Amino acid sequence: MNKVILFLCFSIPLFGQLDSTSRTAVQISGYAEGYYLVDPVNKAAHERGSIFFNHGRANQLDLNLGILGVSWTKGPLSAQISGMLGTYSRRNLASESSFWRNIFELNISYQLAKNWGITAGIFPSHIGFESAKNADNWTLSRSFVAENSPYYGSGIRMFFKPNTSWTYSLFVLRGWQHIQDLNPALGTQITYVAANSWTWNSSGFMGNEGNGLRVFHDFYLVVPLSKKVKMVLISDMGFQNEFWHGEALMVQAKLSNKWKLAGRLEQFSDSKAIVLTQGSFIQSASINADFSPFPKMIFRSEWKIYHSSSGVSNLHSPEYMFGVVLGK
């Protein structure tokens, strides 16, 4: 718990400086998300089931993700490096060495032309609506489609942005969320953002993960229902000898500059345990409330229920979770 308090104290986004003569920009930043998850079934502090890659401990204060990073930009060239610790890194990068397990980003980018660019290294995944950073997400917990698709990638990204609406990206990757191991793979992404904030995204992956070719597609559509209410529809489908799929519907309402509410309905089906540790059909529903007293601070709370066809271990319903997010 001491490491949680220490990191929260020193991880508010910090500072940047710009040297106007050489046009070199250096920025140092910090980010942290602490949480307390209440499991009313098992009231002792314990590890949650292996199907969760975030918020891995119940009934104790913990740090899900803490990041300290630095970015450097000079003309068309930029670089980013950031380290991390917490539940997310310990669980989601368990197959990596202890060094790589603590790397959030490590990449170099070059703007080849006005509409073209390339990035090489470790970077956030192109797949999915939800991010590893909770500040980017509508809800405190992640959906099952997010938990069972890559949060990060390593390799090369080439992108083309012909205008403000369309972005096309091609990825040459080391595999399905790999840094050390090499399972050559390809990724694609097409994103369209309309002037009225409608967003359409299609992301793909194709590579051999050791026991067959894995083909995967993620689709999401963000629909602004009004000035204060928006909805996202998410659909994932994969095939590797057998099919798996997941769907989610989320709605977010902005009540004021400081208050937001969100709800989610979802299901995830993987009867042959291709990406889950045990085959199952899981459904869940959750309600989320956010209070942001300052622009880069969010107090979050969530109530969540589950239903599983095969009794997934440590899937206790209902669950209550409280969190604080510092940074963007």
What is the pLDDT, as a whole number, of residue 2?
47
Do the bridges between strand 152-160 and strand 166-173 make them parallel or antiparallel, or are there none, so unpaired? antiparallel
Q: Partners of 120 in the beta sheet?
A: 108, 156
Q: Which pLDDT belongs to residue 312?
A: 65
What is the residue-level pLDDT of the chain in tens, covering all 328 positions? 444 444 444 444 444 444 444 578 999 999 999 999 998 888 888 898 888 999 999 999 999 999 999 999 999 999 999 999 999 999 999 999 999 999 999 999 999 999 999 999 999 999 999 999 999 999 999 999 999 999 999 999 999 999 999 999 999 999 999 999 999 999 999 999 998 889 999 999 999 998 899 999 999 999 999 999 999 999 999 999 999 999 999 999 999 999 999 999 999 999 999 998 777 899 999 999 999 999 999 999 999 999 887 756 567 778 999 999 999 8
The structure tokens listed for 262 are 């969100």
| Homologous superfamily of domain range 2-326 | Porin (2.40.160.10)
Strand partners, 201: 191, 220
Give the position of tokens 């209550």.
Answer: 320
Closest to 325 measured CA to CA, from 69, 141, 71, 153: 141
Q: What is the pTM of this model?
A: 0.89
